[in-house]
Amino acid sequence: MIKIGGAIVADDVALAACAEDVASLARAGARPLVVHGGGPQIDAALRARGAAIAHADGLRATDDVTVEVVEAVLCGPVRARVVAALARRGLVAVGLSGRDAGWLVAEAVQGRVGRPTEVCAELVHRLVERGHVPVVAPVFVNAAGEALNVNADTAAAAIAVAVGAVGLVLVTEVGGVRERGGGSIGELSTSAASAAIAAKVATGGMIPKLDAAIHATRGGVGRVHVVGPRRGELVAALRGARRGTRVLAG
Ligand SMILES: Nc1ncnc2c1ncn2[C@@H]1O[C@H](COP(=O)(O)OP(=O)(O)OP(=O)(O)O)[C@@H](O)[C@H]1O
Ligand SMILES: [Mg+2]
């Protein structure tokens, strides 16, 4: 399972590096599944509409207007870029959100921010069995079929646990988790990751990212890394090499 941050999707070089890696995983017989974010793109669309942008503990404050923009942007231009980048490398990339077949279900925690409650993995199982690469926008639905905004890292972890993924690689521009002084951290136990959030070493988008890494690790996903968008990085991490920041049980 590979999660690509929005800033990477926006960057041709970084996106190409990730797409090359996903293609080499597929060639090696792995069954890659991709989830993408879209933070900067959603911010730009909200700004263009004159809508407010606010975050709390790294999660986007989401009301009825925001969730419409989130879905339009993620399931529109952002996903199109990811699917195109993979298709250029010969992959059959299939874009979908939780709305398709109603496979990603969440409950609202605040406004239209969702917490995943159900992942019906059947749909993606069928796709990966055929050699297709699902490209997932983290838009979930509630029981009434309304869209809920789930952080992309949170979504990737929930899906990784549900499908029994061997690894979860969160690809982000910063390339890993940094200490307060700026040095990069090679390994973090789940308890140290929680402590980093509590001590405010990890702030903003790094909070849901570490929470996702903790959730995946505790849910039995073996190789959980936060890495940068360099060619070879995510392949190496999924093969067990030391790359970026690895989150381990403990
Ligand atoms: N300790 C830390 N180490 C590294 N980055 C941190 C840390 N604490 C906070 N951050 C912030 O977390 C950000 C990464 O999360 P962010 O949500 O912005 O990106 P993303 O998850 O890759 O993309 P998207 O949200 O679009 O999917 C970094 O850009 C950095 O500003
Ligand atoms: Mg994020």
Task: Report the CATH number that the domain containing residue 14 is assigned in CATH.
Answer: 3.40.1160.10
For 125-141, what is each residue's pLDDT tens digit? 999 999 999 999 999 99
How high is the pLDDT of residue 250? 94
For 204-239, what is each residue's pLDDT tens digit? 999 999 999 999 999 999 999 999 999 999 999 999
d(CA 172, CA 157): 15
Q: Atom 28 in ligand 1: which residue has the minimum CA distance?
A: 174
How high is the pLDDT of residue 69? 98
Q: Which domain covers residue 79, as residue numbers? A: 2-248
How high is the pLDDT of residue 231? 98
Give how many domains the chain has, as a whole number: 1
Section 49-73 average pLDDT: 97
- The preferred substitution site among 57, 149, 173, 174 for testing ligand 1, maximizing ligand atoms within 8 Å of CB, is 174
Question: Does ligand 1 lie within 6 Å of residue 172's CB atom?
Answer: yes
Ligand nearest the Cα of residue 82 is 1
How high is the pLDDT of residue 169? 98
- Closest to 1 (Cα-Cα) out of 29, 24, 38, 35: 35
Give the global pTM: 0.98
How high is the pLDDT of residue 24? 98
Distance 94 CA to ligand 2 centre (A): 22
Section 116-124 average pLDDT: 96
pLDDT, averaged across the chain? 98
